């Protein structure tokens, strides 16, 4: 009689095959989402919406404000801009060097603890260093097995990057810096920030654009320069933008600064009114979903900061085919590539020289389509979503 064949089962290989397609439970956390208008918050919301479509991921979003649902949970916290938080932070800053931002993150983290402790999960995905530090201490205390995936979009100091289980680097220069500091290559991946981009560029007709400008209370025909970011001097350098536009001969373009206001904002607003006048200058803070209307009607986009972790607003502007004017350094060269209008913005006059050419480009429809297509092919969620799934899967590996 012919002996029966014996099948040897490789239990390790079987386990790997099963784990390859298992559903990964992910918490995405952001304390500012719901009451702060920054790139972090925009990215977090879009990331949740994009990755929720993936069958291999079970995503829950934890945020600091807004509306709650089954998968979007608002946690109690002390919002950094709330009057009570500001009063408390005056004391904590004097005593411990910890301000309103830390208070928001710490209170948010306390509200998150029951979810971390009692709900089974695989990955916590975040972009805030303070929350990352708190999670690291909590992991050491509780010995919980979930992994922390940190998106290094600020960027933060390489010394911190040894703490998370896995790091998403969004531009090559940050990855290179971390590698040079000794952060292991096997715990990092280069995956750029993604943004919602339509596959086809829709350009408003002149009449549609004039109507939308009228609706938004902006000049219907005057060239419109847009800068999106915190209305401040120290980082976004809105004062530089104002002075450069003011140095142009009349008739000057209209300058609109769109973003969150902080302690430096009154100084910026005063400078703009003095040098450009209320007929040629304005600042506004609007909800995240309203920002797109302003990109639709702008002629060119400016960001004068000398350093950014990624510069998500460049992608937002490119979605609408806008020529982007920026300081020349590693991040802008990577994000904008050949479509960028780059110069040394530490020098007076550098931006002013570029504005007329950028406004001329705005009338070239083929240029606008090319700018949009580059952004779509390199940074749209449709193109990058599989890379984000692989990123999360890489984080869960032993």
The helix/strand/coil state of 202 is coil
Domain check: are 215 and 363 in the same one? yes
Q: pTM for this structure?
A: 0.87
Both tokens of 381, joined, read: 């969620």
Of 310, 304, 311, 313, the residue nearest 345 (C-alpha): 304
Interior CA angle at 292 toward 289 and 296, to 5°? 160
User: What's the CA gap between 308 and 330, in Å, rounded?
Assistant: 10
* Domain boundaries, position 97: 21-194+381-396
Domain check: are 36 and 85 in the same one? yes
Domain check: are 306 and 243 in the same one? yes
Domain check: are 314 and 263 in the same one? yes
Q: How do strand 57-63 and strand 123-126 relate by DSSP bridges?
A: unpaired
Domain check: are 187 and 210 in the same one? no
Domain check: are 280 and 330 in the same one? yes
For every one of its 398 residues, what pLDDT tens digit does the chain have, with 9 covering 90 and above? 444 333 333 434 434 444 556 899 999 999 999 988 777 888 999 999 999 999 999 999 999 999 999 999 999 999 998 999 999 988 888 888 889 999 999 999 999 999 999 999 999 999 999 999 999 999 999 999 999 999 999 889 999 999 999 999 999 999 999 999 999 999 999 999 999 999 999 899 999 999 999 999 999 889 999 999 999 999 999 999 999 999 999 999 999 999 988 889 999 999 999 999 999 999 999 887 889 999 999 999 999 999 999 999 999 999 999 999 999 999 999 999 999 999 999 999 999 999 999 999 888 999 999 999 999 999 999 999 999 999 999 999 98
> Domains in the chain: how many in total?
2
Strand-by-strand arrangement of the 166-169 sheet: 72-74, 57-63, 24-30, 123-126, 147-152, 166-169, 188-190
15 assigned to some structural domain: no
Domain check: are 211 and 355 in the same one? yes
Interior CA angle at 14 toward 10 and 16, to 5°? 120
Domain check: are 107 and 174 in the same one? yes
Give yes or no for a contact between 376 and 370, defined as CB atoms under 8 angstroms apart. no
110 assigned to some structural domain: yes
Domain check: are 139 and 231 in the same one? no
Task: Read off the CATH number of the domain in which 280 is found.
Answer: 3.40.50.2000
222: which DSSP letter? S
13 assigned to some structural domain: no
10 assigned to some structural domain: no
The DSSP result for 29-97, as a single string, is: EETTTTT--SHHHHHHHHHHHHHTT-TTEEEEEEESSS---SSEEE-----TTSHHHHHHHHHHHHHHS
Query: CA–CA distance from 44 to each of 64, 119, 377 (Å)?
Result: 12, 21, 21
155 assigned to some structural domain: yes
Give yes or no for a contact between 334 and 169, defined as CB atoms under 8 angstroms apart. no
Domain check: are 366 and 259 in the same one? yes
Domain check: are 213 and 335 in the same one? yes
Domain check: are 227 and 362 in the same one? yes
Half-sphere CA count of 248, side-chain side, radius 13 A: 23
User: What's the CA gap between 169 and 157, in Å, rounded?
Assistant: 12
201 assigned to some structural domain: no
47 assigned to some structural domain: yes
322 assigned to some structural domain: yes
Backbone angles phi, psi at 321, to 5 degrees: 75, 20
């Amino acid at each position: 009689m012919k002996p029966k064949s014996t099948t040897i089962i490789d239990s390790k290989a079987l386990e790997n095959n099963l784990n390859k397609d298992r559903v990964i439970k992910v918490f995405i956390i952001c304390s500012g989402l719901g009451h702060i208008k920054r790139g972090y918050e925009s990215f977090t919301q879009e990331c949740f919406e994009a990755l929720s479509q993936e069958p291999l991921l079970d995503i829950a979003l934890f945020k600091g404000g807004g509306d709650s649902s089954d998968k979007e949970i608002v946690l109690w916290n002390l919002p950094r801009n709330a009057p009570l938080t500001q009063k408390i932070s005056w004391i904590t800053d004097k005593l411990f060097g910890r301000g309103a931002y830390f208070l928001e993150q710490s209170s948010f983290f306390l509200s998150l603890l029951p979810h971390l402790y009692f709900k089974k999960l695989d990955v916590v995905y975040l972009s805030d260093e303070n929350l990352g530090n708190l999670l690291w201490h909590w992991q050491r205390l509780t010995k919980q097995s979930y992994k922390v995936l940190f998106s290094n979009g600020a960027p933060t100091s390489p010394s911190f990057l040894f703490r998370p289980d896995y790091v998403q680097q969004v531009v090559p220069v940050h990855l290179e810096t971390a590698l040079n500091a000794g952060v292991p290559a096997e715990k990092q991946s280069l995956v750029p920030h993604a943004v919602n981009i339509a596959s086809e560029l829709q350009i408003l007709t002149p009449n549609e654009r004039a109507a939308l400008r009228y609706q938004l209370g902006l000049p219907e025909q005057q060239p419109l320069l847009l800068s999106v970011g915190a209305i401040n001097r120290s980082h976004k350098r809105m004062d530089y933008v104002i002075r450069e536009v003011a140095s142009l001969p009349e008739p000057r373009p209209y300058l609109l600064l769109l973003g969150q206001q902080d302690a430096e904002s009154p100084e910026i607003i005063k400078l703009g009114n003095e040098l450009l006048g209320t007929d040629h200058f304005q600042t506004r803070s609007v909800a995240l979903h309203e920002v797109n209307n302003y990109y639709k009607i702008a002629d060119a986009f400016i960001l004068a900061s000398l350093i950014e972790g990624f510069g998500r607003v460049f992608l937002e502007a490119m979605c609408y085919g806008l020529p982007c004017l920026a300081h020349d350094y590693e991040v802008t060269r990577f994000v904008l590539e050949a479509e960028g209008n780059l110069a040394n913005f530490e020098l007076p006059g550098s931006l002013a020289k570029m504005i007329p050419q950028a406004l001329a480009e705005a009338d070239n429809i083929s240029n606008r389509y090319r700018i949009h297509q580059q952004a779509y092919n390199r940074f749209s969620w449709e193109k990058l979503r599989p890379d984000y799934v692989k990123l999360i899967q890489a984080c869960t590996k032993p």
